[in-house]
Amino acid sequence: MALSIEPLNGALGVEVTGIDLSSSISADNKAALEQALTDHLVMVVRNQNYNPAQFLTAVRHFGHTMEQHLTDLLMDDHPEIAVLDSLDYDIGADGRAIPLGSKDWHTDHTNHAKPPKMTSMYAISLPRAGGDTGFANMHMAYDALPEDEKKKLAALNTINKIEDNAYVSDRDKERFGALQHHPLVRTHPVTGKKGIYIHPGKTAGIEGMEPEESQAFVDRLMAKVIQPEICYRHQWQLGDMVIWDNRAVSHVAYRDYDHKDRRTMYRVILTGDTPY
């Protein structure tokens, strides 16, 4: 079967079929995949069949794997891979599990000086219904704002912290816990496009604002810019490998399933650069 790349919607996302990423691929196919990811920011590669080592091979077609600080979730034999298992999630006051990444729309690991350029997840087991992931095009979010607001946001920097979660070891909290300052409006290093760049849960504050003022500002901003027309909601299928560009995309895990109806994902991040 020949490689096929088809858009998923007008905002972002492509569906890829007709390729096995668990081994070497041709230079032409690699270039086509890289261009599709640059243009559409989220890539869904269907019908893959990976063991952990093969998943790493697949992801490394797009960059170098990066160390994660999700210490207690890392695979022993392949510590580049975090295993996200719904049976291990905390339970909220409503009796429902709180999936990793479900608290807010965010980009990953902003507590690093060089946050990951991409994240990839691979579906190992899925619930009978739900378990979706949402993606938002933050270039479009920025472009939709009036010019005066763009200028105000472009002058702001976020102060980023590591979250105090149980799955992060004390050692990694020390190693990755230094506050990092990043621009709220990030320039994509490949395309030059500007987009809103933030992880609300890792935002200790906005430079020049008090903590409460910062939180209210971030909440208002995200509520304003995350609109249906810039989003794609992915309904997972077994064998899906999804990879997305953290420099231009926010994402969220939906709490739309019974955690006991097991949802298990492999997760890998790729080395990025300093935001500007």
pLDDT, tens digit (0-9, with 9 covering 90-100), for 13-66: 999 999 999 999 999 999 999 999 999 999 999 999 999 999 999 999 999 999
Output the pLDDT for position 95.
85
- Between 163 and 74, whose confidence is greater? 74
Round to whole Å and give the CA distance between 21 and 50: 9
Could you tell me which residues are beta bridge partners of residue 44? 15, 242
**185 located within any domain:** yes
**130 located within any domain:** yes
Question: Residue 229: which domain range?
Answer: 4-270
Output the pLDDT for position 97.
87
* pLDDT tens track for 175-192: 999 999 999 999 999 999
Round to whole Å and give the CA distance between 42 and 137: 9
The pLDDT > 70 percentage for the chain reads: 100
We report the CATH number of the domain holding residue 108 as: 3.60.130.10
**177 located within any domain:** yes
Furthest-apart CA atoms within the chain: distance in Å:
57
**276 located within any domain:** no
**11 located within any domain:** yes
**195 located within any domain:** yes
Round to whole Å and give the CA distance between 236 and 253: 12
The DSSP annotation for the chain comes to ---EEEE-SSSS-EEEES--TTS---HHHHHHHHHHHHHHSEEEE-S----HHHHHHHHGGGS-B---S-GGGB-SS-TT-EEEEGGGS-B-TTS-B--TT-SS-B-S-TTSSS--SEEEEEEEE--SS---EEEEEHHHHHHTS-HHHHHHHHT-EEEE-----TTS-HHHHHHS-S-EEEESEEEPTTT--EEE---GGGEEEETTS-HHHHHHHHHHHHHHH--GGGEEEE---TT-EEEEETTTEEEEE---S-TTS--EEEEEEE------
* pLDDT tens track for 223-238: 999 999 999 999 999 9
249-253, strands of its sheet edge to edge: 231-234, 133-137, 249-253
Output the pLDDT for position 192.
98
* pLDDT tens track for 60-116: 999 999 999 999 999 999 999 999 999 999 888 888 889 999 999 999 999 999 999
Round to whole Å and give the CA distance between 276 and 237: 36
Q: How far is CA 165 from the centre of its chain?
A: 18
Query: What total of structural domains would you count in the chain?
Result: 1
Contact 197, 183 (CB under 8 A): yes
**275 located within any domain:** no
Round to whole Å and give the CA distance between 10 and 131: 23
